[in-house]
Amino acid sequence: MNLSELRTGQTASVTRVGGDGPFRRRLLEMGFLTGTDVYVEKYAPLRDPIELILKGYHVSLRVDEAARIQVENVREVKTAHA
């Protein structure tokens, strides 16, 4: 499934980062590496962008950018995740 399909409060592990060139490289540099857990903190009021937490910091991505990141092992998190 794509990262953009997750709901607020869910966590998943990155399995693949799509795209090519500078965009893909930028995602990898931000920490979207295979096996990294990503927590969906919240969506903006109009559902774009998404605020994510990975490796202890906050990142905002547009929904179309998040759609290029494949994830698995989706789980609900009840408490704040950092």
Contacts 24+ apart (CB under 8 A), 16-21: 16/69, 16/70, 17/68, 17/69, 17/70, 18/68, 18/69, 18/70, 19/68
Q: Are 73 and 2 in contact (CB under 8 A)?
A: no
Element counts in the chain: helices (H) and strands (E) = 2, 5
- Residue 79 has what pLDDT? 59
Per the structure block, which two tokens stand in for 67? Answer: 């759609």
pLDDT tier at 30, thresholds 50, 70, 90 = very high
Task: Give Dmax (Cα) for the chain.
Answer: 37
pLDDT tier at 40, thresholds 50, 70, 90 = very high
pTM: 0.85
Domains of the chain by start residue, with CATH: 3-76 (2.30.30.90)
